[in-house]
Chains A and B, each alone.
Chain A
Amino acid sequence: MEYEVKLKKVGRKKTLRQRIKENKSWQNLSTFIWPLVFGLIMIGLWQKEVLHSWFHTDTFTLPLLNKIGGIMGDIHEKLLENTISTVQVAFWGLLIGSLLGYLIAVFVAIFPKVGKGGLSVIGAFASVPVVAMAPVFNNWTKDVSTDAGFRSMVSKIIVVTLICAADMGLNAYRGLTEIKPYSEDLMAIYAAPKRVTLWKLRLPNSVPYVFTALKVSVPASIMTAIVSEYFAEYITGVGRQIRENIVLAQYSTAWAYIATACLIGVVAYIILMVLQSICLKRYH
């Protein structure tokens, strides 16, 4: 009996640590605090030049953060100009490529017998290093315009388009075909024509999958835009500026462009997340 009483006390009492751990608002807070702690440690290591000694480099190649920030302020007009150029390429490539990929997926979903093989061919394209093809599009677009800036842009957009189309095609096809069991049968019972099934069932069902595709292709489109700038005829864009400035050994300026590139990625992703939460409201 004595043993039981003792046990009861042990069972009830919680340590302060446990109490804190189980507290809901602490749990919510900690998902912000821990990343913040890590970020601050990294910033500290960078500013105190600890990172520099780890990587055997100096503040010339890896400038301090305040210096990068200062330069970003100094050249903000040029940053903006190049950002617009890169974002334009990424955006149009993303848009055209995603539309193209989606149309292919719809085609395959309507004519599955012919289409399925095509999809596996596209799947194979997804593992092709498309960057290797970037240079040739400069040759393709030579006669598009007399304006080097414009034809350069077209050739960069083609590369981004290819990357995004493969990704969207594969995901959208899954969205158009992976339908809840019985709903297809239900459509058949109502003798709904293919067109109606597509419009009422397949297209709405594919929306979440479209966002799955975009989560991959939005960062990929930016990365591809940046890399294809390396090979472009006309010198513009954030990626090209990184390279040009490094060639000129202006590392701080290069870092300002790197920071800008990261910002573009983060902002684009945030926009995508907001769009997703608006579009997928009904799906939850």
Chain B
Amino acid sequence: MSEAREVEIKTRNLGVTFQDNEGNDVAALTGVNLEIMKGEFIALLGPSGCGKTTLLRSIADLQKPTEGDVHIQGMTPKEVRLQKKFGFVFQQPVLFDWRTVKKNVELPMEIMGYSKGERSDRADEMLEMVGLKDFAKHYPKQLSGGMQQRANIARAFGLDPDILLMDEPFSALDEFTKEKLHEDLLRIWRATNKTILFVTHNIQEGVFLSDRVCVLSPHPGRLSAIVDIDLQRPRSLEVKETAHFNELVAKVRGSFEGGSVS
């Protein structure tokens, strides 16, 4: 599948070292070499403290690497960011309480100087896509957690970014809402053909969504395995019942060093 596709993101020997309060160096991430294709859905999977969020933040230019580098479309993360090619979805829906749902979706477009009509049309389109059309005039506090996260995703897609970075976006939601959003996300991804990096600590979630699962291990944080997920597309929830899905889940689980993650 990947033969004719171009590389979108490339990390070379990427490492991030923090200083703790006593001034000691703590390696959050070391020696990550990763190539991500255009239009690929990548899951970054691992237990807490394995550096998966750090990797995501390094790609997004939110974190300066202390070692190695990141190239995106032949540019630095900063250049890509300044060209506004990133979308970012946080774990918590970072919505602005004083703006309606629609105005929240419009915010990045306001910052980028879209015209009023263009903003409004595009926001309507995005809200329709995530199924929040009827809630455009509501305020975030009036929505459930799942709906807030939908609004958050609508905002990330609003700018039509090349690369969508998602940091455990569904981890605070209940299972039913989560499954619904998984299907929606795959549908939107297929329709828009974005490159998606999806951080998660849930093996099933990673396997179900992605083309490849990148397994990270802690102490120090590093990329320990990459598992190809050759489940057919488009996927529906039924795929979770198949033997192959369970094999892949088992394979990913087995790739954790020491098998310490359940």
A residues at B contact (CB < 8 Å) = 4, 7-8, 11, 24
Judged by DSSP, the binding face of A is helix
Q: How far, in angstroms, from A11 to B69 measured CA to CA in the complex?
A: 9
CB pair B71–A11 under 8 Å, yes or no, is no
Q: A4-B69, A11-B69 are in contact. Are A24 and B23 (CB under 8 A)?
A: yes
**Cα of A24 to Cα of B23 in the assembled complex, Å:** 9
> A11 — which chain B residues lie within 8 A by C-beta?
64-65, 69
Further 7 A-B residue pairs, CB within 8 A, beyond A11-B65, A11-B69? A4-B69, A4-B71, A7-B69, A7-B76, A8-B69, A11-B64, A24-B23
Question: B79 CB to closest chain A CB, in angstroms?
Answer: 10
Of the A-B pairs whose beta carbons lie under 8 Å apart in the complex, a sample of 9, sorted by A's number, is A4-B69, A4-B71, A7-B69, A7-B76, A8-B69, A11-B64, A11-B65, A11-B69, A24-B23
Complex contacts, A24 vs chain B, CB 8 Å = 23
Closest approach, in angstroms, between the C-beta of B152 and any C-beta of chain A?
A: 25
Chain B residue at smallest Cβ distance from A3: B74
Report the minimal beta-carbon distance from B136 to chain A, rounded to whole angstroms: 32
Quick one: closest B residue to A24, CB to CB? B23
A/B pair count, beta carbons within 8 Å = 9
Query: Would you give the shortest CB distance from A257 to chain B, in whole angstroms?
Result: 46
Contacts of B23 in A (CB 8 A): 24
Interface set of B (CB-CB < 8 Å, partner A): 23, 64-65, 69, 71, 76
Contacts of A4 in B (CB 8 A): 69, 71
Please give the distance in Å from B32's CB to the nearest CB on chain A: 16
Report A-chain residues with C-beta under 8 Å of the C-beta of B71.
Answer: 4
Q: Which residues of the other chain, A, contact B69 by a CB distance below 8 angstroms?
A: 4, 7-8, 11
Instruction: Report the Cα distance A11→B77, complex, angstroms.
Output: 12
Q: Shortest beta-carbon distance, B20 to chain A, in Å?
A: 11
Min CB distance A6 to B, Å, is 11
7 A-B pairs closest in CB distance: A8-B69, A7-B76, A7-B69, A11-B69, A4-B69, A24-B23, A11-B65
> Which residues of A are found within 8 Å of B76, using beta-carbon distances?
7
CB distance from A229 to the nearest CB of B (A): 45
CA distance A8 to B65 in the complex (A): 10
What residues of chain A lie closer than 8 Å to B65, measured between beta carbons? 11
CB distance from A18 to the nearest CB of B (A): 11
Minimal beta-carbon separation of A27 from chain B (angstroms): 13
CB neighbours of B64 from chain A (8 A)? 11
Q: How far is the CA of A24 from the CA of B64 in the complex (A)?
A: 19
Taken together as a complex, chains A and B put the C-alpha atoms of A8 and B64 apart, in Å, by 12
Give Cα A11–Cα B76 distance, bound, in whole angstroms. 11
**From residue A10, how far is it (CB to closest CB) to chain B in Å?**
9
* A8 surroundings in chain B (CB, below 8 A): 69
B94 to chain A, nearest CB (A): 24
Bound form: Cα–Cα A7–B76 in Å: 9
- Name the CB-closest residue of A to B12: A4
Closest chain-A Cβ to B3's Cβ sits at a distance in Å of 24
In the assembled complex, the CB of B78 is this many whole angstroms from the nearest CB of chain A, namely 10
Which B-chain residue is minimally distant from A8 (CB atoms)? Answer: B69
Q: Which residue of A lies closest to B65 (CB)?
A: A11
CA distance A4 to B74 in the complex (A): 9
Measured CA separation A24–B69 after assembly (Å): 26
CB distance from A150 to the nearest CB of B (A): 55
